[in-house]
Amino acid sequence: MSDRDTNNPANERPAALAGCACDVLVVGAGPAGSAAAAAAARAGLRCVVVEAEAFPRFHIGESLLPLGDAVFRQLGVSERLHAAGFVQKRGAQLRTPDGAHTVLFDFQTAKHVDPPYALQVPRAQFDALLLDHAQACGARRLAGRAIALRDVVDGVEVDVATAAGVTTVCAKALVDASGRAGFVARRHGVRIADEELRKASVYAHFRGVPVDPGERAGDTRIVALPDLGWMWFIPLPDGVMSVGAVLDLDTWRGRTKGDPAQLFADVAATSPYAASLLAAAERVGECHVESGFSYRASAYCGERWFLAGDAGSFLDPIFSTGVQMALRSGIEAAAAAGAVVRRGVAGSAGARARFDRTLQARYRFVRRFVTGFYDPATRDIFFAPRRMFGIARAVTTVLAGGFDLGWLDRLRLQVFFAIGRLQRRYDLVPRVSGAAAQSPANVAEAPTSLERA
């Protein structure tokens, strides 16, 4: 983890915060928290964001989605992000373990994508930039760790442990963006583990990993593993490549766990293609291991608290949906919290109910794609996108971050998953999942559908 950078505005601690009252208190300054703080401040609300860690700091989750740019424009930070020199990601590639068969989901074929690319971001730089922007919008940062929460008349109180001691911040509404720590979610007992998605991940940064030529150099490469696991290769600036593997938790428990680097090497060796990419690569930094990271919330809000980002739920690294879901929920939490501030608990009941319904529905929608990728038959269909009826374009739109689709595209997705169910009984497409699967040596690009937006 990086030491505190005293020249970084994201580490400045505003004066005279002790005991102050504010409209919205945000706990956590990752993407969800910074988005909530910026949105609240831009809406004219007095906002304080509490963050314990010094920025910049390492974090995983480096791949953004094209339709997330609308969120950045809404926050007023899009131009600054595009000027920061991040790698442009124009698509996502699915590759079989031997690398012989590739499916390219090109974002320019998705609906409503402008620009037709996303960014690959070192999270240390990206998160610090968002927090700095939130402060520029008027949010104030308190450097410290939230340690206690109390309901009071017309608000909440949070005790924050700072370098100078414990201070209490009172607010009319609270946004919990504390990530997996779940400052509010755990206290209220609303976190629910997703037992179907019991996964583990091991990851690190490397130099010297080959990239594809031309505009495909920034693509995320997703390499399927024989046991239904997968690996990611995410190009970052300065020749760095984020590489990680996700595998079933039971599979992970059966492997070497004492040495994360050995675990990583063992998993990479199961894919000839991944092994070839890493053959001459040099690891920079430590190998990290995480497990049991899939969960949701039974309720995403109470009368005065709202869960945003990973504080509420996290699905899986596949398809890189985490940051976009965090950003959107942060903005939505700020809007719902603003309703509490302006109209009180009784007057904000509708806004709070809509917030909860929106996040519950979004989790279910994205989850269907995640669980589909771990189903052997449906994974086969991902590797054989259908040109007919605009199905491939609908799938590409989802992979570009399009979670709010019209009825026709939702119908197309129903057909997509129906084909996956049929694949369990009939060989509709070549079977590419499993150790013995063989793949044709060609590249099949996810096509533009007959229907255009």
Mean of the per-residue pLDDT values of the chain: 89
Q: How far apart are CA 118 and CA 273, in angstroms?
A: 25
Q: Which residue has the tokens 């911040």?
A: 169
**Residue pLDDT, tens place only, 206-245:** 999 999 999 999 999 999 998 889 999 999 999 999 999 9
**Residue pLDDT, tens place only, 89-144:** 999 999 999 998 899 999 999 988 888 999 999 999 999 999 999 999 999 999 99
SS3 435: coil
Sorted by where each begins, the domain ranges of the chain are 9-76+122-193+295-365
Q: Which residues of the chain have pLDDT under 70?
A: 1-20, 254-257, 386-387, 433-453
Q: What is the pLDDT of residue 26?
A: 98
> Beta partners for 220?
92
Q: Count the neighbouring beta carbons within 10 Å of the beta carbon of residue 150.
A: 11
Q: Which helix (H) or strand (E) holds 118?
A: strand 118-120
Q: What is the pLDDT of residue 433?
A: 66
CATH number of 9-76+122-193+295-365: 3.50.50.60
Q: What is the pLDDT of residue 249?
A: 83
Structure letter (DSSP) for residue 450: S
